[in-house]
């Protein structure tokens, strides 16, 4: 076992002694609905700010993002970032999603795990450091941001790109428990809109000649089928390319995935549909070249157009996020790795996660970003009866505190 330097031990003991307070604060956060949509954040944002002030953190609120600051102007700047918005609860919960109820050492409620736990961890990490008499060399910036669940606009995107928050390194919540994450998969969304001609489906169905005339319909749903088949064939091909980065324990996919996630089309059962829209989310392992994949799809669509003069199609790629790799040999990464060893009493390697997060905004600004969270496969995030293990909440608080302690000493 690694011998703890005295400060680390003191801080860990402080956090242990604050267990009930940390749990109580997270319960209070869960009791304040903050799902998006609709994104009503004022109450929870003010509540988080008041807690920061109580702890002794200087604060600023911008568009309901809460930004706290502690330390000195000289020295490195470390950012903590967690999001205060949640996915919406939906029917099927057996426990009050806004109750913050504790059952078997777990706290239940929407956002208990994703990602209000990390807001509690950030604030109590600072409290433990201050109560231990820690003198910050440099600045620690503590943020609770909005709109992560809908892409980060006006949230992390806003505070980073408007220069409200600047830093050298960032610990972001919203991640798996027990392992630090230094690698993130890439992603892009691609949408296909096909226009057809609406007709009576029995009288003038969309059939090839000789069973059609100038009054026949053009079936937009039928025309989407070759694209769907192509994408599924492409998925088969992607199966052979596995990522070499170590997977998070509860995330099973080593390969890029093509997800047909949303489809709209048709107006009635007896009409030839004049419109079909297919939304597709493609997740890419870091080894996959996104540009190449896009070209494969766009070339296929071009080929279809050549073969079928009736095909009226529009393709849009509204979002592309390249994979992100953080250097695991930097001083910051080494500190994080040592802290995991202290907290879990064994080496924990850096992992990859597939979902995209607010980490992108920090990474794009050249801020070294490592993800540390509380999520396990069984936590039901974005599902019914979301919960967090209290032990994970306490451990992540320790990891945040000890990282700041070592980075800003």
To Zn ion, the closest distance from the beta carbon of 156 in angstroms equals 11
Residue number with CB closer to Zn ion (120 or 224): 120
Site track for Zn ion across 20-39, x = CB under 5 A: --------------------
What is the C-alpha to C-alpha distance for residues 157 and 145, in angstroms, rounded to an integer?
9
Residue number with CB closer to Zn ion (36 or 408): 36
CB 301 within 8 A of CB 190: no
Residue number with CB closer to Zn ion (35 or 115): 115
To Zn ion, the closest distance from the beta carbon of 258 in angstroms equals 23
Site track for Zn ion across 97-116, x = CB under 5 A: -----------------xx-
Burial pattern 358-377, b for ≥16 Cβ within 10 A else e, equals bbbbbbeeebbbbbbbbbbe
Site track for Zn ion across 236-275, x = CB under 5 A: ----------------------------------------
To Zn ion, the closest distance from the beta carbon of 152 in angstroms equals 11
To Zn ion, the closest distance from the beta carbon of 114 in angstroms equals 4
To Zn ion, the closest distance from the beta carbon of 359 in angstroms equals 11
To Zn ion, the closest distance from the beta carbon of 369 in angstroms equals 15
Enclosing H/E stretch for 36: none
Question: 235: which 2 tokens?
Answer: 């998925």
Residue number with CB closer to Zn ion (57 or 353): 353
Residue number with CB closer to Zn ion (67 or 81): 81
Round to the nearest angstrom and report the end-to-end CA distance of the chain: 23
Site for Zn ion in 325-344 (CB under 5 A): none
What is the C-alpha to C-alpha distance for residues 310 and 308, in angstroms, rounded to an integer?
5
Size of the site for Zn ion (CB under 5 A): 3
Rg value, the chain, Cα: 25
The answer to whether residue 358 forms part of the interface with Zn ion (CB under 5 A) is no
CA dihedral 369, 373, 379, 382 (to 10 degrees): -40
Residue number with CB closer to Zn ion (15 or 375): 375
Residue number with CB closer to Zn ion (174 or 322): 174
Residue number with CB closer to Zn ion (148 or 206): 148
Site for Zn ion in 302-321 (CB under 5 A): none
CB 372 within 8 A of CB 399: yes
The SS3 call for residue 42 is: helix
CB 375 within 8 A of CB 396: no
CA distances from 292 to 162, 239, 245, 288, 289 (A): 32, 16, 21, 8, 5
Residues 6+ positions from 366 with CB-CB distance below 8 Å: none
**Cα angle value 92/95/101 (rounded, 5°):** 155
To Zn ion, the closest distance from the beta carbon of 375 in angstroms equals 8
Site for Zn ion in 160-179 (CB under 5 A): 174
To Zn ion, the closest distance from the beta carbon of 110 in angstroms equals 11
To Zn ion, the closest distance from the beta carbon of 52 in angstroms equals 20
Axis-axis angle for helices 116-131, 19-30 (nearest 10): 150
Site for Zn ion in 113-132 (CB under 5 A): 114-115
Sheet (strand 257-265) strand order: 257-265, 275-284, 186-195, 312-321
Residue number with CB closer to Zn ion (114 or 157): 114
Interface residues toward Zn ion, by CB under 5 A:
114-115, 174
């Amino acid at each position: 076992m690694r011998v703890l330097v005295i400060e680390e031990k003191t801080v860990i003991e402080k956090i242990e002694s604050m267990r009930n307070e940390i749990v109580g604060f997270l319960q209070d956060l869960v009791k304040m609905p903050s799902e998006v949509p609709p994104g009503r954040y004022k109450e929870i944002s003010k509540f988080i700010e008041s807690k920061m002030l109580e702890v002794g953190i200087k604060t600023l609120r911008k568009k309901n993002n809460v930004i706290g600051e502690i330390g000195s102007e000289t020295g490195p700047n470390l950012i903590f970032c967690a999001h205060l918005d949640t996915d919406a609860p939906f029917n099927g919960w057996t426990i009050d999603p806004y109750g913050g109820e504790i059952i078997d050492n777990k706290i239940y409620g929407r956002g208990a795990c994703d990602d209000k736990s990390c807001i509690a961890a950030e604030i109590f990490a600072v409290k433990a450091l201050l109560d231990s008499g820690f003198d910050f060399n440099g600045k620690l910036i503590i943020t609770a941001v909005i709109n992560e669940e809908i892409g980060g606009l006006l949230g992390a995107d806003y505070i980073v790109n408007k220069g409200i928050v600047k830093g050298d390194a960032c610990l972001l919540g919203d991640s798996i428990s027990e392992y630090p994450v230094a690698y993130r998969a890439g992603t892009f969304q691609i949408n296909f809109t096909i226009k057809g001609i609406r007709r009576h489906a029995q009288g003038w169905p969309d059939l090839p000649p000789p069973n059609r005339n100038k009054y026949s319909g053009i079936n937009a749903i039928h025309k989407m089928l070759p694209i769907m088949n192509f994408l599924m064939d492409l998925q088969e091909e992607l199966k052979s390319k596995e990522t070499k980065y170590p997977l998070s324990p509860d995330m099973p996919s080593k390969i890029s995935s093509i997800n047909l996630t949303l489809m709209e089309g048709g107006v009635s059962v007896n009409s030839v549909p004049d419109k079909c829209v297919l939304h597709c989310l493609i997740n890419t392992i870091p080894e996959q070249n996104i540009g190449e994949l896009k070209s494969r799809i766009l070339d296929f669509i071009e080929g279809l157009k050549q073969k079928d003069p009736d095909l009226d199609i529009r393709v849009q790629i509204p979002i592309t996020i390249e994979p992100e790799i953080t250097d695991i040999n930097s001083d910051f990464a080494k500190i994080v790795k040592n802290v995991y060893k202290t907290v879990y009493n064994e080496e924990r390697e850096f992992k990859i996660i597939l979902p995209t997060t607010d980490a992108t905004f920090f990474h794009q600004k050249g801020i070294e970003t490592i993800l540390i969270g509380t999520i396990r496969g069984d936590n039901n995030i974005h599902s019914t009866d979301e919960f967090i293990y209290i032990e994970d909440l306490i451990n992540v608080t320790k990891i945040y505190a000890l990282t700041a302690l070592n980075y800003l000493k």
